Structure 1
Amino acid sequence: MNDLIKGLDLYEIDSLDITYQLLLNDAELMSLVGDESKVFKYFIPEENRGQPPIIRISPISELPTEYADNEQLAWDCIVQIDVWDSSNARKIALQINKLMKTINFKQSTPIYEFDEETYLIRDGRRYRGKIVADLKTY
């Protein structure tokens, strides 16, 4: 189990924050994008949009799942991670894909496009996985 998830009870689980910390803590990814100031939650401020590479993480859903004795044990989560760059969007996205596998998230939906206004390539991918709470015995 990844250390970012280990020890979290059900209501401490936040798929957006877990994903954000996962990306920021990877030296290889940070070497590809520059530094953590290139990774954003929800939206990219206007002043940063012209400074690729840029990564944006957006939560799509967190649904209750996995029950035992009528108690919820986990969240079924979907997050979208978009990468914008002029040349290495795919390389950055593939490193993110490797990282997401470490928390047992699988890629589900890819989006590839060229933005004619910014001249940047967008590589967007959705990832789905279950985050199981740490079942503490009291």
Structure 2
Amino acid sequence: MADTDKAMQELDDLFASARQNPVPLPDHLATAIMNDALVARSEERVPQQEPENRRQVHFGIWRQLMVAIGGLPALGGMAAACVVGVWVGLAPPSFLPDPAQLVGYSDSTSVPYDSYDLASVLGEEVQ
């Protein structure tokens, strides 16, 4: 514990000396930062050009949607999740009830469970 306190004290001393003797910003770095800021500010002031036809507008909307989702990797993940959801919905695992039987689209009149309550179905032990 004493070693940690000593190391922390040395670190505090280094920070204190750095605060007392600040290093000035080099002139070329300050100039580069200001030039980048002026370029960024001038790009904000340039008005957006109107698209020539409606197809470009739709392309822009789809591109904005794709960026908002997270790009192609996120869109691929969403597509895979959708496919798995449809697959599980059409052919559920053995421990889940068939959704078609729960809504009444079954040819058989016997229901494997006492009620249509999914919580009670999932609460029973799976054999």
* TM-score normalised per structure 2: 0.20
Higher helix share: 2
Higher strand share: 1
**Larger RCO of the pair (alpha carbons < 8 Å, separation 6+):** 1
